[in-house]
Amino acid sequence: MKPYNHTRQADAAEIKQLLYTFGVTQSVTSDLKRVRPILEDHIDHLLDGFYDKVMADSDMSQVFQNNNNSHLRAKAMQKSHWLDWVFAAKFDAQYLARCKRIGRIHQEHKILPVYYLFGYQFVSQAVKDLIFSACDDPKQAHRLAQSVEKAIFLDINLAISIYCTEVSASWRRTSQYDQLTDILNRRGITEKLSAMVPATGGYNGTTACIGLLDIDFFKNINDNYGHDTGDQVLKFVAKLITSNFRNEDIVGRWGGEEFLILMPDIRVADAIQVFQRFLTTLESSTIKCNGQSISITASIGVSELSDHASSLDGTLRRADKALYQAKDAGRNQVMTSQQSTDQERTKVIGHALRFKT
């Protein structure tokens, strides 16, 4: 038995609503199937004319040239789209999934919607001309042309809608991900944390731990080897973090050479072991830049989240304080917020005793 596919079920419901919205009824789909043999005899000539016009545009010509003259692949994809899907009236979940895939490709190659409008107008007029040439009955030709317009109107609206959705998703990813390391940036990870831990406090789960990791002596790496090498170190550490933590853990670049790791559903004692193992892995790893091997260590401050946590900001402050205590204690180690507090108490008591004597 095939597993239940939520995405396909959602696509099927969506395309059903779209067909209703754009008036693509059963009679329209029957008309499209009648038009298909007429189009099939002329599709290559039609697409040649269309792409001749497209390639005459300097911007589009450059797009295709930058992608190994991909207009030939685009032409083949377009032919299949018209013959095997639109004019075969195969408006199903697979059709919608295919449109979404094409939309992603268009967005990646920056093919703007204005070219969609031109393309669909060109195809629509060309197909209607073919219909009126092939049909002896003007009323039948008019009805078929109207059905073609409905199908093409559906297709173009779907194409533009998908393109805009992909652009929006791309912008959102750009705003949430660090371009250098390709992991969440401060904004992205803050949004993830805020969704899990309301501003009023209280973690929405059993218990979790936040670790703030800071690369030791990173300024020296930049000063001695250059900022390009520093960038390579940041990318190396980011990749090592993502490959050594669980899929459910949230990893991001908090700023500069500092990274944040949120580990859901874990006690602080277990989290400390995981972080310590990571520091051992990091210390035993070397990165080679310009023929030189660079050893890297880091310090980590850990704070626990629970259902009685005061606030997210408070938890982050405790982790940050623990991180600085780890630096003060000699670096290349893990320090918890509780250990940090205990050290502060020891210092205060020691100072009080010295003052008393």
Helix runs in the chain, H state only:
6-21, 26-40, 43-55, 58-66, 71-80, 93-108, 113-134, 138-176, 186-196, 218-225, 227-244, 268-284, 312-328, 337-356
Which residues have a Cβ under 8 Å from the Cβ of 199 and sit 6 or more positions away? 311, 312
DSSP secondary structure letter of residue 298: E
Per the CB < 8 A criterion, the answer to whether 337 and 322 are in contact is yes
**CB atoms < 10 A from the CB of 269, how many?**
10
Q: Please say if 257 is a catalytic residue.
A: yes
Per the CB < 8 A criterion, the answer to whether 210 and 261 are in contact is yes
**CB atoms < 10 A from the CB of 105, how many?**
16
Catalytic residue among 149, 166, 257, 258: 257
User: How many angstroms separate the CA atoms of 239 and 242, rounded?
Assistant: 5
Tokens of 327: 């630096």
Tokens 């999934």 — which residue? 97
For 203-245, give the secondary structure using H, E and C.
CCCCEEEEEEEEECCHHHHHHHHCHHHHHHHHHHHHHHHHHHC
User: How many angstroms separate the CA atoms of 47 and 276, rounded?
Assistant: 62
Per the CB < 8 A criterion, the answer to whether 160 and 113 are in contact is yes
User: How many angstroms separate the CA atoms of 26 and 19, rounded?
Assistant: 10
- Catalytic residue numbers, as ranges: 257
